[in-house]
Amino acid sequence: MKKYELLLVLPGTLDEKEAEARAQEILNMIKEQASDAELHNLGKSRLAYPINQIRYGYYYTIVFTCDSSGLKLIQGKIHLMRDLLRTMISYFNTNLTSAQRISYTTDSSGITTMAQSEAEPKKKFVATEKVDLAEIDKKLDEILEGDVIPGV
């Protein structure tokens, strides 16, 4: 059993009570197949681009624990719902920090996973030995004497 997170966007044309009721219906549907399901309201926000001439949406996340067969049933039921603007199911990971980069990939079964990689800390260059400027000029002249772009 793995922990997943469902992000869903409901149309902004609904009022707050209707959107909350619809989110509760989806939560109850998920509770049939999963355990430890929690609904989080992220509020109403403007979409990055209009979807079906709708410019605003209600954002919700549902965190739940489920096995793979239950997840496929949940995905099938979600795809049948016509009033959802967008949905995305990903593995839930609490160990992410701001220094980590996150990338999303979707496999052939339609499950979106979140991969993480450590961001390299920026290192400052510190000269440990003294460099002779005449030596640098000589090296630059050698580079510029040769063909910068071979064959041109």
* Residue linked to tokens 């989110």: 23
How far CA 93 is from CA of 67, 97, 114, 146, in Å, comes to: 16, 10, 8, 54
Mean confidence (pLDDT) of the chain: 82
pLDDT in tens, 53-108: 999 999 999 999 999 999 999 999 999 998 899 999 998 876 654 445 555 666 76
pTM greater than 0.75: no
* R_g over Cα of the chain: 26
Is 30 within 8 Å of 62 (Cβ atoms)?
A: yes
Determine phi and psi for 137, rounding to 5 degrees.
-60, -40
Domains of the chain by range and CATH? 2-118 (3.30.70.60)
Mean pLDDT computed over 122-127: 61
Beta strands in the chain (DSSP E): 2-11, 35-51, 54-66, 86-91, 100-106, 112-118
